[in-house]
Structure 1
């Protein structure tokens, strides 16, 4: 495990696709990601048979964070989010779950600037409980055993090295600390998932999203020193609502609507992966 001074680490390299999408293109400002959250949503509390409002969409994004944080129960603990984006999930965790501290880590300096601006009142009011730092999932600028909980919401599809992320999660968590990762992965046993996903979805074709089976993350966590590793599909709570929301902007057959097709064809699914540091 890495144990050098985190402050001495160089700035992380950012893949070009990630740099453009989360920097100049500013995905958080795209209307489909209403409210500044950047996730597909957890739609269990939204009536999908009726018209969808922007409030419904924002609630779905918040509820995905709540579903992840419920798995961690970070009350009173030191908590870190990897891939924090605008930091709205960090603020939600701080305000609703009572952790001692929340640290948001993101690889993109422009996202961190936006996070500090979006959360400036909270940072001013509680400077010792909330901070944002620049770093990569595979080389976290954090101390050994510094945290009780680590979570990541819909960023893992961009991580180029899952074993390195798992090792870093193990390093920064104390023994008994918990990790929860929500994101989309190829389905174990699917035939030629990389090629099929690239044919259906522009984000996989461009290299922004990386196709890996969920078992690869589960195995990496086990090898890094985690136990009680679980990978649970939450696809039924994600894909139908996401597709209904996309239907407001895209017609059937356009590539964003193919997320639903990929799920129905059992190529892609959405998972919550949890584990405990041994």
Structure 2
């Protein structure tokens, strides 16, 4: 595990930062929220849950076995179980402290019989899961940390059954942007520190195709993410401070938020 990831999701506990109200560690999908009025914590939680719904709608876990890569506190796993009816959900995370928090947050679901939820320690590039074990694999705002996208794509192909779906939501540099790594590092501390990795979304498209996936589709959902996220950040951060520069990077066509889907033949 890279040290930046260890610190951010372990001792620093990003899930406890006020800006991530609700316990989901994501920027949110704000389409259903009125951004012209003051935002509430309820609005923020809705945006976080709605981002998961966008991904789960694309992944299609109903009735099958689902796995989330980079599950964090496991609240997305719980949402999937509650709203999408999979037979079982497995949450995978690279950080043992995050998994400890996930088990605590979802204690009642873990105790249910028959069991429908489990958490497993593992990296996206080397999943401790069986071949053809799952009907869908999804990941929400974790792929920006994956150091090896081709290895992740190969593992996704391995653990999915034929016909299985993969759905990944995360932020990537915009295709064709000039010197994106250097410019993003100049704007955003998370890129400067190495926590987030600057890569065009085509790297993930290509990795999925090379791993044997078909029907690879990339959709920008930036207009539903960045303005709302920036409005929420404005409650705590002044213009020009680095978290507000996510919106600036989007406006400069350096960074965007994407939903990438594909099918295992």
> Within the alignment, does 1:97 sit opposite 2:104 as a pair?
no
2:182 is aligned to 195
Task: Tell me, in whole angstroms, the C-alpha distance in 1 between the residues paired with 2:123 and 2:227.
Answer: 31
Give the direction of change, closer, same or farther, for the CA distance of 1:126–1:21 in structure 2 (3 Å limit).
Answer: farther
Pairwise CA distance, 1:126: 4.3
Over 3 Å counting, the alpha-carbon distance change for 1:127 and 1:198 in structure 2 is farther
8 Å CA contact 2:60, 2:165 repeated in 1:
no
Measured after TM superposition, the shift of residue 127 of structure 1 is 5.4
Equivalent of residue 206 in structure 1, options 193, 196, 207: 193
> Do structure 1's residue 239 and structure 2's residue 226 form an aligned pair?
yes
**1:41 equivalenced with 2:28 (yes/no):** yes
- 1:43-82 alignment runs, 5 A limit: 43-82=30-69
What is the match of residue 186 of structure 1?
A: 173
Instruction: Spell out, residue by residue over 1:195-242, the C-alpha distance to the aligned partner (whole angstroms, 9 max, x if none).
Output: 000000000000000000000000000000100001100000000000
Match of 1:134 among 121, 126, 129: 121
SS of the residue 1:117 aligns to: helix
| Gap runs ≥5 in structure 2 | none
For residues 33-70 of structure 1, give each alpha carbon's deviation from its aligned partner in whole angstroms, at most 9, with x where no partner exists.
00110000000110000010001000000000000001
The aligned residue for residue 208 of structure 2 is 221
Deviations 1:86-118 (A, max 9, x none): 000000000100000000000000000000000
Contact kept, 8 Å, 2:109 with 2:116, in 1: the verdict is no
User: Normalised by the size of structure 1, how large is the TM-score?
Assistant: 0.95
* Deviation of 1:74 (Å): 1.0
Q: Secondary structure, in 3 states, of the residue corresponding to 2:19?
A: coil
The 1:276–1:18 alpha-carbon spacing in structure 2 relative to 1, beyond 3 Å, is same
Q: Once the 2 structures are TM-superposed, how far is the Cα of residue 125 of structure 1 from its aligned partner?
A: 1.9
Query: 1:17-36 counterparts in 2 under 5 A?
Result: 17-36=4-23
Runs of 4+ off more than 6 Å: none
Instruction: Note the alpha carbon deviations across 1:170-189, whole angstroms, 9 max, x for none.
Output: 00001110000000000000
* Distance (whole Å) between structure 1 residues aligned to residue 112 and residue 29 of structure 2: 30
Secondary structure in structure 2 of the residue aligned to 1:32? helix
- The separation in 2 between residues aligned to 1:264 and 1:221, in whole angstroms, is 28
163-172 vs 68-77, greater mean Cα deviation: 68-77
Count of residue correspondences: 265
User: 1:122, CA displacement in angstroms?
Assistant: 1.2
Question: Which of 145, 152, 159 is matched with 2:132 structurally?
Answer: 145
TM-score, scaled relative to structure 2: 0.99
Q: Which residue of 2 is the match for residue 176 of structure 1? A: 163
Q: Are residue 107 (structure 1) and residue 94 (structure 2) matched?
A: yes
SS in 1 for 2:135: strand
